[in-house]
Structure 1
Amino acid sequence: MECRLCLGPAPADSSVSIFGDPHPERLEQRIRTCCQIYVKRGDGLPDIVCISCKNNLELLISFRKACFRNNETSQVRLDDCLKIKTEEVLLEDIIWDDEPSLLTNHRKSSEICSKPSPSESELVLHTREKPFKCEICLKSFCHKSKLESHKKLHTELKPYKCDICVKSFFQKSSLKSHEKLHTGIRPHKCDTCLKTFIHKYELVLHLRSHTGEKPYQCEICLKTFSLNTYLRLHQKTHTGIISHKCEICSKSFSRKSSLELHKKLHTGIKPHKCETCLKSFIHKYELVLHLRSHTGEKPYQCDICLKSFAQKSNLRLHKKIHTGKKPHKCEICLKSFYRKYDVVLHLRFHMGEKPYKCEICLKSFTRKCSLMLHKTTHSGIKPH
């Protein structure tokens, strides 16, 4: 009788069933929202929580709701302030008793230095109103021109075409930005690593890799990102909606781009080939990572022990070693691991599972890397 969250003792008289909670917001939903833990019935893990953890969840939920409610209130107040318009007092409405010349002088000066009044589109921008809505996807815009530009996405018409590579674009500004690729000029240089870029915004984004700046934060789990696009993609994980499904294997994805990448697996086509060892890959980024095995390039360095890695994901996993925390535990022998994947591999030793089999001698292995190392004995190539 352990608590699912704190692993503390949870006897029947001081615990609550996760799936038997009568609250309108079910307990498993609150755990997913607050802790980012997806609880499933029959997953083999404890299905109860202690009273202390339940109370903490209630407090956290109340705090989140209060924060969102207060933020909305503050936003309404700000919008109300921005909508207040300063009333102009006409000089003709003022009664001048004894200084008529002052009115005349002011009229002359106003004719010389008067500024044009703000346009209607500028006022809309400050009030944050978006009165123009797309009839297809219901997305709203501040200006009608932006709506018209957006509608081209639905028609798939790309009127602006590059004269060199015949690539088409929805907007003229996108075409001008694209044409810089053909000039070969990269005027924006990073002072740290001397890498050059075509566009200034690319340099700004690149500098965050040196500074570690991540200005975009998720309001739910407080995770930060260097790009706003990464944040928007991450926020879809909180919705739990998996809308894109592969028609061949029925595997689902939260992003359309992930589905498109996955579909390439079924085609069997590997268009990206290494010129050194002629090995082919489905995705271009796989080739980029593979080339580092030939060049020995390891661009990602640990700030603590200065150890370098070829992939950023390996660096993130390595940094967990310095924390000393091993959050993933084997349920059979209670051995702890830094990564959840290591637990999966470790359990194969207990279960005797060896899913990777050599096609030549039919010998089986628990890990894929062990199989790849074994195959070198058949090819006669000595491993490094």
Structure 2
Amino acid sequence: MKLAHTKTCSGSKVKIEDEEIKCKICDVLFVNDQMKLEHVLKEHNVNLNAENICQYCYKNSSSLEEHQDHLVEIHSDEIFKREKRSYSCEVCLKLFRYVKDVIEHCVKEHEMDSKLVKPFLCDKCDTRFTSSANMIQHKQYHEGTRSHICSFCGKSYITKSDLTVHEYTHLNKRNYKCEICDRAFNTNKNLRSHKLVVHTDSSLWKYHCNMCDKRFPLKSGFDQHTRRHTGDKRFQCLICPKSFISSSELRKHMTFHSNVKAFKCSHCDKEYKDRRVYEIHLTKVHGIGNAKIPIRIKKFACHICPSTFFDKQKLSRHLCTHTGIKPYACTMCEKRFTDKSYLKHHFKVTHNVVELHFDDVGDVKIMH
């Protein structure tokens, strides 16, 4: 009896006259036990588990007891498809009913450290976890609900731990100190990033671009670099049609839509919109700080005459002298100019207008 049942569990056909395989609910006959089992699961929606699945195969209680010694091997697919909770081995994908069984299997069969076994698999992606708590927190990112709000600035976060890390930046205690240099950080995550970027050899950086062989220490930098290859500009300006690869580029662009110059030099009257330009000014003019002063090269050449220029805009202005085109028009009189700076000077001297704003197509907006 046990041999016949083993064959039917493996899907081998048996003759109806040799053994009658009947559904206990509706008395329908089947060629083998596997077909009968699929019928019970599908047609009668019976919730079979490890305790009752074999009752649909065995009529003899003694044979049933013998068979249950090999229960997992014979019926693992049927059991775990019906069980709500199941855990799999990350190496061979074998299914288990309990976490402890997965850990024991990985240690014994795959010689893994028990603390590194990840039996918890996210049902929305392929990420694995060592604990159910970490998996539950991970699933919150799939849901995307930002219910944790910072009491300092109003920013919202998906998890409580993310909010806690963020609030450390407001406290600015910088308790995490680098043992290699004198830098200190508000969070342990920032300290780890610092060590990777500054104190780790670039050949050991984890993220490698297959298109240009560049390496990156952080996934965020790698993802941004990859978008440059693909042209994925997902950060859209709300004022104009321009879009950008990174949020930092968008923030920098937004300053051009505003006349606010947040960086004011305390040693002279200069004001700047961009922090980097402001720091270069301090180093170059006042000898303060150690900002890297860019070396300017006249790499834009006129194809009509030998003139060369530092930037593309000055080359475009120069080309107007050859073509006679004057794209910048005064809105208060009929004069036209080859460059924005000439038009600004004209407004200031002739019309006593100091504040001007140019939109993306070059039209003038007078600021009152």
Say yes or no: TM over 0.5: no
Larger relative CO (CA 8 A, sep 6+): 1 or 2?
1
Scaled by the length of structure 2, what TM-score is found? 0.44
State the TM-score, normalizing by the size of structure 1: 0.42
Instruction: Name the larger-Rg structure.
Output: 2
